[in-house]
Amino acid sequence: MTYDYDSTSRTVKAGGLTLHYHEAGPEGASAEAPVVIMLHGGGPGASAWSNFGRNLAPFARAGLRTLLVDQPCFGRSDKPELDKDYFTYSANAVAALMDELGIAQAGFVGNSLGGGTATRLALDHPAKAGRLLLMGPGGISVNIFAPDPTEGIKHLFAFNSAPEPTREQMRTFLTTLAYDSSVVTDDFLQERYAQATDPEARLGAARMGAAFANPAWAERTMLWREAHRLTQPVLLTWGREDRVNPVDGAFVALKTIPNARLHVFPHCGHWAQTEKFDEFNRLAIDFFTH
């Protein structure tokens, strides 16, 4: 069975939005196969496939029905004007997607922005959320030692706010995400730059940014204030050298979430699913299947 972009690509109308996602599962699996939904980060040019495309096959082969979802304002999903904070808006969209697909409950992998969405979904729609694997998640982390905004967030803002963002700005941002900058190949750089400078992608980034800048919605993004309400098993995963959401941000969540544990990957930045591909897959699949 192949797990390439085109063969796994799906589109559905849910909650008034057109949402794009990728789906794969074990061959011959029943509708009762456990479901894992992966939610990507929020950097320029990000998408479900860019973040998790390589991870789809190992999860599917492990018996998990796996969905990689383009969150609103990203990838091939709609780029609407938001009427509430981003985490709530995206969580509601994913909940509507689950309803449309007949998925009663799923485990979640949330990277950065996607970690915030997964957390908000678990708080607002607790029956829909099983186990949560949160990778350097936004909203739930509180930096104790690292300054705000962090190095990675500064570079993200610089790219998104530039009238004509450059490839060098993209390279600077992407290398901030990785411990080993060699993972940012010229081909990968060009792919992300082309995605990020597409007019639709720039519109989505602007609308997401406007939601985070709205002071009326700021409290809803401070997920660390509500983390104590999470009842699901939570696996916090962090790259020790993360320069976007540094590892010291994990400790408030670890202290306040009742059923949380923390795994730190050494020699790893913000992309554990890429830089620690085999180790991450083993850890995550074991978490969702045992």
Could you say which of 40, 155, 270, 290 is catalytic?
A: 270
Q: Per the structure block, which two tokens stand in for 194?
A: 């082309």
Work out the angle at residue 190's Cα, subtended by the Cα atoms of residues 187 and 195, and round it to the nearest 5 degrees: 130
| Cα separation values, 164 from 49, 176, 211, Å | 25, 20, 22
Taking the C-alpha atoms of residue 290 and residue 107, their distance in angstroms, rounded to an integer, is 12
Q: Which residues of 235-248 are buried (b: 16+ CB within 10 A; e: fewer)?
A: bbbbbebbbbbbbe
Q: Reply yes or no on whether 270 is catalytic.
A: yes
| Contact by Cβ (8 Å): 177, 270 | yes
Catalytic positions are 270
